[in-house]
């Protein structure tokens, strides 16, 4: 097992979690290589969000290994600890700081010290200002930088949250349903954005939208009842009879 873990950025082996007897994750194993982008699909209740919760330290697995960089045990970390290691997470429902400006949202997300003392006396550096400009351009919100995040449209909030992830400069991005509620054009722009950031970062995308997954053009993992059902290209997995059964109902 340790041999497989070496050289991986994210390594899950035989992970189990049960909530009140319900097996949400049941022997899940997955390996993500540095710079890889992976799409996770699966019907409701397949365990996609629970898997994210386990990786980010929100939920402790009952059993199994979760390793970062082949060596760091993520099950011993809390959410902030995991984030500081370099794993960023975007929620299913866009979650931004609504009463603060777009710019401040990004400022709070920038990689750097996170302790109270440092933040009390922090002053904006030129480097930070340049990075903010860069990020605002990337997520196409330059014109809205001074507006409150709560005034953004749904799609813009999704983008802002992706921008906040990128601001952390994480090694791994976990992105939960990034195009939910987006128009077709926005969906394609988002696929483009994610493809652009893969390579420098490893990305895990959970998504229902098959068109979007196809547009990403990456390896797909199909989850079902807390375990991996199939893995491979989108064309490969959509040809697997079990996957068709799960999606269409037996």
Partner 1 sequence: MIARLIDLRGAVFLLLLACFATIVPMMSLLAEPGSALHLPSYAVSLFGKYLTYALLALSVDLIWGYCGILSLGHGAFFALGGYAMGMHLMREIGDRGVYANPVLPDFMVFLNYDALPWFWLGFDMFWFACAMVLLVPGLLAFVFGWFAFRSRVTGVYFSIITQAMTYALLLAFFRNDMGFGGNNGLTDFKDVLGFDLQAPGTRATLFALSCLALGGGYLICRAVTQSRAGKVLIAVRDAESRARFLGYRVEYYKLFVFVVSAMMAGVAGALYVPQVGIINPSEFQPANSIEAVIWVAVGGRGTLVGAALGAFTVNGAKTLLTGWFPEIWLFFLGALFVAVTLFLPNGILGLLRRRRRAARAEPATTAPAAAE
Residues that bind partner 1 (CB under 8 A): 56, 78-80, 83-84, 88-89, 91, 95-100, 104, 107-109, 114-116, 119-122, 148, 150-151, 164, 168
Between residues 66 and 220, which has the closer beta carbon with respect to partner 1?
A: 66
Q: How far is the CB of 120 from partner 1 (least distance, A)?
A: 4
d(CA 148, CA 150): 5
* Token digits of residue 203: 């990305």
Between residues 7 and 150, which has the closer beta carbon with respect to partner 1?
A: 150
* Token digits of residue 183: 């128009």
CB atoms < 10 A from the CB of 143, how many?
A: 9
Helix (H, G, I), strand (E, B) or coil at 140: coil
Q: How far is the CB of 223 from partner 1 (least distance, A)?
A: 21
102 Cα distance to chain centroid: 20
Between residues 67 and 174, which has the closer beta carbon with respect to partner 1?
A: 174
Q: How far is the CB of 103 from partner 1 (least distance, A)?
A: 11
Between residues 161 and 207, which has the closer beta carbon with respect to partner 1?
A: 161
Between residues 30 and 164, which has the closer beta carbon with respect to partner 1?
A: 164
Q: How far is the CB of 231 from partner 1 (least distance, A)?
A: 27
DSSP assignment of 164-216 equals HHHHT--SEEEEE-TTTT--HHHHHHHHHHHHHHBTTBEEEEE-S-HHHHHHH
Q: How far is the CB of 162 from partner 1 (least distance, A)?
A: 13
Q: Write the DSSP symbol of residue 86.
A: T
């Amino acid at each position: 097992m340790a041999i497989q873990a070496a050289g991986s950025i994210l390594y899950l082996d035989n992970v189990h979690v049960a909530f009140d007897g319900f097996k949400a994750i049941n022997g899940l194993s997955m390996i993500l290589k540095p710079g890889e982008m992976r799409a996770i699909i699966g019907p409701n209740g397949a365990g996609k969000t629970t898997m994210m919760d386990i990786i980010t330290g929100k939920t402790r697995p009952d059993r199994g290994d979760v390793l970062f960089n082949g060596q760091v045990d993520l099950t011993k970390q809390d959410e902030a600890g995991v984030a500081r290691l370099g794993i960023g997470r975007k929620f299913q429902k866009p979650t931004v700081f609504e009463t603060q400006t777009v710019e401040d949202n990004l400022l709070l997300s920038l990689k750097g010290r996170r302790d109270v003392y440092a933040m009390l006396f922090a002053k904006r550096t030129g480097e930070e200002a340049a990075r903010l400009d860069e990020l605002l351009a990337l997520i196409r919100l330059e014109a809205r930088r001074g507006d409150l995040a709560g005034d953004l449209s749904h799609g813009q909030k999704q983008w802002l949250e992706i921008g906040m992830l990128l601001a952390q400069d994480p090694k791994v991005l976990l992105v939960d349903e990034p195009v939910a509620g987006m128009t077709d054009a926005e969906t394609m722009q988002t696929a483009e954005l994610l493809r652009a950031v893969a390579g420098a970062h490893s990305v895990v995308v959970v998504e229902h939208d098959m068109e979007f997954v196809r547009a990403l053009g990456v390896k797909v993992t199909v989850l079902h009842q807390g375990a991996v059902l199939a893995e491979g290209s989108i064309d490969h997995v959509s040809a697997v009879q079990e996957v068709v059964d799960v999606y269409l109902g037996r």
